[in-house]
Structure 1
Amino acid sequence: MIIAIEGIDGAGKNTLVTAIRKEIGADVLAFPRYETSIHAQLAQAALHGEMGDLTESPYAMATLFALDRHGAREDLLAYAGAGDRVILLDRYVASNAAYSLARTGDPAIVGWVRDLEFGRLGLPTPDLQVLLDTPPEVAEGRAKRRAQLDATRARDAYERDGSLQERTWQAYNQLASADWAGEWMVTSEAEEIIARLTR
């Protein structure tokens, strides 16, 4: 099974993924893969102002993040329909759709993201997508504290933009309400997700 944990920056995705992994022994993969993927590294550089005006194009940024995921495609396919094997994804395709919608305000872009990643790039659809229902103001406070405590976690252009985070939160809720690209649940409780996966 492929379980995608989604939410805005500072929502608590890593904490939740760690708790679920500890309980059910699932494998974990976090996107973007900054340490191993050139596409993720280029996106990161752009978000820290090192790639000129690249971040001005939602399509360019979405493509870099999509190519990062495509680099893990073969690994992900091993979990598609694999029965007892579970992988938890800290962000997946819906993050691209939500941030792209928040940046453009154009609902058509979520269809473009879906076609790009699940269609052209052949990524497997998740069995379940979980949206963390952390309010944007709470998430922003967490992201700020994280950056203060860890010099390697300096907030990027997306994380510093409170308005973008609010719009992305709204976009995520739209995707969840529509069961975009599969089934969704909205929660912040690891126990609810574990119960769902073990029933």
Structure 2
Amino acid sequence: MIVSIEGIDGAGKNTLVRALTEKIEAQVLAFPRYETSIHAQLANEALHGRMGDLTDSAYGMATLFALDRHGALEQLNAPGLLLLDRYVASNAAYTAARLLDDAATQWVAELEFGRLGLPRPALQVLLDTPAELAQERAKRREALDAARTRDRYESDSGLQERTAAQYRRLAAQNWQSPWIVAAPEEDPGQVATRIIEFLGSIK
């Protein structure tokens, strides 16, 4: 059973994952898998300006992120509860925001759930953090950790705002599976409880 935690950079995904793992037993996987996936590493190189004009291609970047997830197919299909820090919805939201085209979310769904055969999540959770707050968190994170230099997506405030709007659109239509939306002022422990209650209702 997969639960994906979604939101723009700095939304608080790691914090919610920690709150959940304090309450329930689950495996955790974060995308992109920069440490182990060649596709994620190439995407990271592009996002930091070291792959020529690759980053200019929204479809090219989306395909690299999709292939990163495809490389984790065995883990995604393993038994038990799996918490994901980002999943397919992230690709859908960012790609649609980059292309200014809502239809791009369907292209991502067909690529990842269709052609690549990724399993659909049982639940998707949107941390609906305002872009301004998320940007401040990302800046603080960068200042505290030299390894967390913001990439081209993270430093583009306009893209972050459009991506947040796309995420809200996906959640409103329960894109691909049920969604829970967490308000920015909601305590992570309370959000974790809501998630656990939902999972209990579908067992």
TM bucket, shorter chain: over 0.9
Report 1:166-181 matches (<5 A).
166-181=161-176
Question: 1-side partners of 2:17 and 2:76: how far apart?
Answer: 17
**Aligned amino acid, residue 197 of structure 1:** L
Q: Which residue of 2 aligns with 1:194?
A: 196
Q: Which residue of 2 aligns with 1:88?
A: 83
Q: Which residue of 1 aligns with 2:148?
A: 153
**Aligned amino acid, residue 100 of structure 1:** T
Q: Which residue of 1 aligns with 2:134?
A: 139
Q: Which residue of 2 aligns with 1:72?
A: 72
**Aligned amino acid, residue 78 of structure 1:** A
- Tell me the SS of whatever aligns to 1:160: coil
Question: 2-side partners of 1:193 and 1:5: how far apart?
Answer: 10
What is the aligned-residue RMSD (CA, Å)? 1.0
Report Cα offsets for 1:72-109 as digits up to 9, x if no partner. Answer: 01111124xxxxx2110000000000000100011221
Question: 1-side partners of 2:200 and 2:16: how far apart?
Answer: 16
Report 1:15-26 matches (<5 A).
15-26=15-26
1:103 aligned to 2:105? no
- Tell me the SS of whatever aligns to 2:84: strand
Structure 2: which 5+ residue stretches go unaligned? none
Question: 1-side partners of 2:116 and 2:198: how far apart?
Answer: 29
**TM-score scaled by structure 2?**
0.93
Q: Which residue of 2 aligns with 1:56?
A: 56
Question: 1-side partners of 2:171 and 2:101: how far apart?
Answer: 17
Report Cα offsets for 1:45-85 as digits up to 9, x if no partner. Answer: 00000000001000000000000000001111124xxxxx2
Question: 2-side partners of 1:194 and 1:10: how far apart?
Answer: 23
Question: 1-side partners of 2:200 and 2:141: how far apart?
Answer: 32
- Tell me the SS of whatever aligns to 2:93: helix
Shift of 1:134: 1.1
| Same amino acid, percent of matched pairs | 65
Tell me which moved more, 186-195 or 168-177.
186-195
Shift of 1:23: 1.1
Structure 1: which 5+ residue stretches go unaligned? 80-84
Report Cα offsets for 1:102-130 as digits up to 9, x if no partner. Answer: 00011221111000000000000000000
Q: Which residue of 1 aligns with 2:14?
A: 14
Q: Which residue of 2 aligns with 1:82?
A: none
Shift of 1:198: 4.1
Q: Which residue of 2 aligns with 1:44?
A: 44
Question: 1-side partners of 2:25 and 2:132: how far apart?
Answer: 32
Question: 1-side partners of 2:197 and 2:120: how far apart?
Answer: 22
Q: How many residues align?
A: 194
Shift of 1:197: 2.9
